[in-house]
């Protein structure tokens, strides 16, 4: 701009001279000619260069450890999106892709993935926008991880630390975290779509491909294995920060992967590595924020204030972080989708809708998906995991004091405080109609409410994402596959004992029993669809136990169709669709 303003000043000075002295006319004309020339010469190409002071580029970011940490933070924020809505909204829960439409969780209303899970035959189509959005989201994770890995491995100008040992530790830990999360994304991709394009490069504007090929599942899983083996080597038992992935979580995933690819012996090794780590222990006693209140040990780790390892949750392998009204705090919609307090508040007895939203009841959920009758009935009476603390089966009418800071429940005629309002599941969720059942039980693992604003649509508690109990169940499965029936039985019993369920004997042991046990323990947590696909039981069990959508499923629906945009954008090579899809 200096050039321009100098020019303007020049013109005005010139003008003054002109007016003062006519005789200088010619001189002035020469001057003006020169000034034009100067302007032309001085304002050259350097003016056309761009210096964006407000943009972050890989070039400027990945110069030191701190930069790589923020790259990882971005990656974790993306990963956490699994329990958030599509595109940051409070609708279309992404986790549904791995949980909904199974033997234990079904849609209670239509919409999002629920549409597919209700009508597999007509709605599981390549143009579904949820599928393309989730596909893109997973490849964003892949690319963010690729970028970190590539930058860390190839750049020479990075300040990793002061001495050689620190440099090595920091660099390997950063790469290990990125690789663990890349494999995590491919785990979703392979279970959902089977063969998928394998992208291991950092995307740039000059490397656009129009001829992607789908790599075979086994090839992709092989690379996942390599990623996780690397991570397992360089990650610590305790995560570098709460919210980040631990060595135990990676061992858990390796154990699962080896089961998937039919290597139970290797699976057992990694399950044992994880289980035998002294830092990781099942929760067997009451602890934390509600320790003195009525409840069961099993549920303590799901309460806000209890989930993190440093809050006493020794069972957690990976805990995801949220926070209300903090930048980066995000917002989970697991409660919104799983909890049914919204419909329950509409239960009317003699025209009165008695139930209020309270902190203890976990705020307001809209019950988009619910456990099947089969899943609720899996529990013995004494099993803590089937108690009212874990699965809401009834309400006690409470006074304002007991409900504080929520209002008192309203009393229908003939009721008094302390009375019970029972929910019903004698009629299973069935059919394909739109009818949603209001007074149906729900899973309480995601109960959360801010005392100030009880009915927010998102929740902000830290949530256990992966825990040791599931590793035990993987171990049992590996033992079963290796024909160690007694070992498998004992492994299962370790998990059952904690919840006061009766011990089982070796004669009970079977793959189906393990799957049942997984539902009892992990309902609403595990990626049930993937578990059933891994054990080749999805279609069978969905037909057997899921009467709300299961009857529309077919063999083709063990995979989702490749999103149409992926096929359409692959201009120079025809990308095959999964079998059975148009």
Partner 1 sequence: MQKKIRFKFLNNQTYAKRLKYIVLITFKILLTISVYAQDILNKKLTVNLIQATPIEALEVIKKNSGINILYGENISAFRKKTVTLESGITIQKAIELALKNTDFNYEWMNGNILIRKKQKKSSTENTAYPKQVNQSTSVIKGTITNPNGIPLSGVSIKDESFNVQAYTDDQGNFELKSVGGKSKLITVSAQGYETEKITWNGEALNISLQDKIANINEVVVVGYGSQRKSDITGSVGSLSNKRLENAPNINLSQAIQGGIAGVNIQTSTAGAEPTDNIMIRGRNSIKASNAPLIVIDGVAGNLKDVNPSDVKSVEVLKDASSAAIYGSRGSNGVVLITTKSGKSGETKFKYDGFYSVQSFANLPEIMDGEEFYQFKMERDSSSMTSSEKNVYELNSWVNWPELAFRKGMSTGQNLSLSGGFYSTNYYLSGNFQKVRGLAINDDYKRVQLRTNIDTKLKNWLTIGTKTQLNFIDATGVAATFGEGQGVYWFNPLTTPYDENGKQNIYPWPDDPHYTNPLQGLLAKNIDETYQVISNNFLNIDFPFLEGLNFKLNSGIRFGFTNDATYYGRDTNRGVTTAGDATLKRQINKNIVLENILNYNKTFNKHHIFLTGVYSFENVKSNSNGLNAEGFPNDILGWYGSQQASLIVPNFSNSETTLLSSMIRINYAFDNRYLLTITGRNDGYSGFGFKTKRGFFPSMAFGWNINQESFFPWKNIFSQLKLRGSYGMNGNQAVSAYETISRMIAENYVYDSSTLPGYIPSKLGTENLGWESTKTLNLGLDFGIFQDRIYGDINLYHSNTYNLLLDRTVSPVHAVNSITQNIGETENKGIELTINANLLKSANFSWETSGNFSIIKNRIRSLYGLIGENGKETDDVANNWFIGQPINVNYGFKWIGVWQLDEREEAKLHNTQPGFIKIQDISGPEGVPDGILSPAYDRIIIGQRDPKMTWGLNNIFNFKDFSLSVFMYGMHGMTKENSLLSDAVGRTIRLNTTKKNWWREDNPTNDWYANKLDANVQEGYTAAPYENASFVRIKDISITYKLPQHTLKSLGLNSLKMYLTGRNLFTITKFGGMDPELNNQWDVPLQKEYAFGLNLEF
Hey, which residues between 91 and 110 contact partner 1 (CB under 8 A)?
109-110
| 546 φ/ψ sector (left φ>0, alpha ψ -120 to 50, else beta) | beta
Cβ burial of 208 (10 Å; 0-12, 13-18, 19+) is: exposed
| Closer of 298 and 357 to partner 1 (Cβ) | 357
Q: Which of 9, 25, 380, 540 binds partner 1 (CB under 8 A)?
A: 25
Q: Does 237 bind partner 1 (CB under 8 A)?
A: no
Question: Which of 31, 38, 58, 439 touches partner 1 (CB under 8 A)?
Answer: 58
Q: Whole-angstrom Cα distance, residue 196 to residue 562?
A: 9
Answer yes or no: are the C-beta atoms of 578 and 193 closer than 8 Å.
Answer: yes
Find the binder of partner 1 among 17, 31, 38, 74 (CB under 8 A): 74
Q: How many residues sit close enough to partner 1 to count as binding (CB under 8 A)?
A: 110
Tokens encoding 122: 């007509």
**Closest CB 156 distance from partner 1, rounded Å:** 20
Q: Is position 72 an interface residue for partner 1 (rule: CB under 8 A)?
A: yes
Q: Minimal distance in Å, beta carbon 521 to partner 1?
A: 28
Considering only the stretches 92-100, 374-382, 432-440, 543-551, report the one whose residues sit in contact with partner 1 under the rule CB under 8 A.
432-440
Give exposure, 246-260, as e/b (b: 16+ Cβ within 10 Å): bbbbbbbbbbbbbbb
CB of 271 to partner 1, least distance (A): 29
Binding to partner 1 (CB under 8 A) within 110-169 occurs at 110-111, 121-127, 132, 135-136, 139-140, 142-144, 147
Site for partner 1 in 346-365 (CB under 8 A): 346, 348
Minimum distance from CB of 391 to partner 1 (Å)? 25
Quote the least distance from Cβ 563 to partner 1, whole Å. Answer: 7
Query: By CB under 8 A, what part of segment 191-220 binds partner 1?
Result: 197, 199, 202-206, 208-210, 212
- Smallest gap from Cβ 132 to partner 1, in A, equals 7
Nearer to partner 1, 244 or 496 (CB): 244
Residue with tokens 């980040």: 244
422 burial (CB, 10 Å; 0-12 / 13-18 / 19+) is: exposed
Residue 214 backbone dihedrals phi, psi, to 5 degrees:
-80, 120
DSSP summary character for residue 394: E
Q: Are 496 and 503 in contact (CB under 8 A)?
A: yes
- Are β-strands 316-320 and 463-467 bridged in parallel, bridged antiparallel, or unpaired? antiparallel
| Residues 161 and 183 sit within 8 Å (Cβ to Cβ) | no
Show the binding pattern over residues 284-323: x = contacts partner 1 (CB under 8 A), - = does not: -------------------------------------xxx
What is the nearest approach in angstroms of partner 1 to the Cβ of residue 64? Answer: 14
Q: Which stretch binds partner 1 (CB under 8 A): 31-39, 152-160, 245-253, 380-388?
A: 31-39
Instruction: Compute the distance between CA of residue 291 and CA of residue 342 in angstroms, rounded to an integer.
Output: 27
Token output for 422: 């029972």
Q: Report the candidate in 15, 8, 482, 499 with the shortest Cα–Cα distance to residue 265.
A: 482
């Amino acid at each position: 701009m200096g050039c321009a303003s100098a020019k303007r000043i020049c013109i005005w000075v010139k003008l003054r001279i002109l007016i003062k002295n006519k005789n200088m006319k010619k001189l002035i004309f020469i001057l003006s000619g020169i000034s034009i020339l100067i302007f032309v010469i001085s304002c050259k190409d350097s003016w056309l260069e761009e210096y964006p002071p407000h943009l972050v580029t890989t070039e400027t970011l990945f110069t030191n450890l701190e930069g790589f940490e923020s790259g990882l933070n971005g990656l974790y924020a993306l990963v956490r999106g699994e329990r958030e809505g599509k595109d940051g909204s409070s609708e279309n829960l992404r986790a549904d892709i791995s949980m909904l439409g199974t033997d234990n969780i079904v849609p209670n209303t239509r919409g999002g993935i629920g549409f597919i899970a209700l009508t597999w035959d007509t709605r599981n189509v390549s143009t579904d926008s949820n599928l393309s959005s989730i596909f893109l989201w997973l490849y964003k994770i892949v690319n963010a991880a690729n970028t970190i890995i590539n930058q860390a491995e190839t750049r020479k100008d990075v300040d990793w630390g002061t001495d050689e040992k620190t440099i090595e530790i920091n660099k390997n830990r950063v790469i290990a975290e990125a690789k663990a999360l890349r494999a995590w994304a491919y785990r979703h991709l392979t279970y959902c779509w089977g063969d998928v394009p394998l992208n291991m490069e950092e995307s740039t504007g000059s490397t656009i491909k129009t001829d992607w090929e789908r790599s075979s599942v086994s090839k992709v899983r092989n690379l996942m294995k390599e990623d996780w083996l690397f991570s397992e080597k360089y990650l610590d038992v305790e995560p570098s920060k709460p919210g980040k992935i631990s060595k135990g979580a990676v061992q858990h995933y390796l154990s699962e992967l080896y089961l998937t690819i039919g290597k139970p012996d290797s699976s057992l090794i990694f399950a044992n590595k994880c289980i035998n780590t002294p830092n990781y222990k099942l929760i067997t006693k009451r602890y934390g924020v509600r320790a003195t209140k009525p409840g069961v040990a099993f549920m303590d780790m799901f309460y806000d204030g209890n989930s993190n390892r440093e809050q006493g949750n020794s069972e957690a392998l990976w805990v995801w972080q949220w926070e209300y009204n903090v930048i980066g705090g995000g917002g989970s919609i697991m409660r919104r989708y799983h909890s049914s307090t919204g419909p329950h508040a509409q239960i009317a007895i003699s025209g009165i809708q008695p139930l209020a939203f309270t902190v203890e009841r976990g705020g307001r959920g809209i019950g988009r998906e619910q456990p099947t009758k089969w899943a609720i009935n899996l529990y013995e009476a004494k099993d803590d995991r089937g108690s009212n603390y874990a699965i809401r089966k009834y309400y006690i009418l409470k006074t304002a004091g007991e409900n504080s800071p929520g209002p008192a429940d309203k009393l229908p005629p003939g009721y008094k405080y302390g009375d019970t309002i029972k929910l019903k599941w004698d009629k299973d969720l069935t059919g394909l109609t739109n009818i949603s059942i209001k007074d149906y039980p729900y899973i309480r693992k995601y109960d959360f409410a801010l005392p100030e604003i009880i009915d927010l649509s998102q929740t902000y508690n830290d949530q256990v994402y992966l825990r040791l109990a599931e590793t035990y169940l993987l171990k049992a499965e590996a033992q079963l596959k290796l024909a160690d029936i007694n070992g498998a039985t004992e492994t299962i019993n370790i998990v059952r004992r904690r919840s006061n369920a009766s011990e089982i004997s070796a004669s009970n042991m079977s793959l189906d029993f393990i799957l049942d046990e997984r539902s009892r323990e992990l309902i609403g947590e595990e990626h049930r669809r993937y578990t059933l696909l891994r054990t080749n039981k999805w279609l069978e069990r969905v037909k057997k136990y899921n009467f709300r959508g299961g009857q529309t499923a077919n063999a083709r629906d063990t995979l989702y169709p490749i999103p149409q945009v992926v096929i359409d954008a692959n201009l120079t090579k025809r990308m095959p669709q999964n079998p059975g899809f148009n």
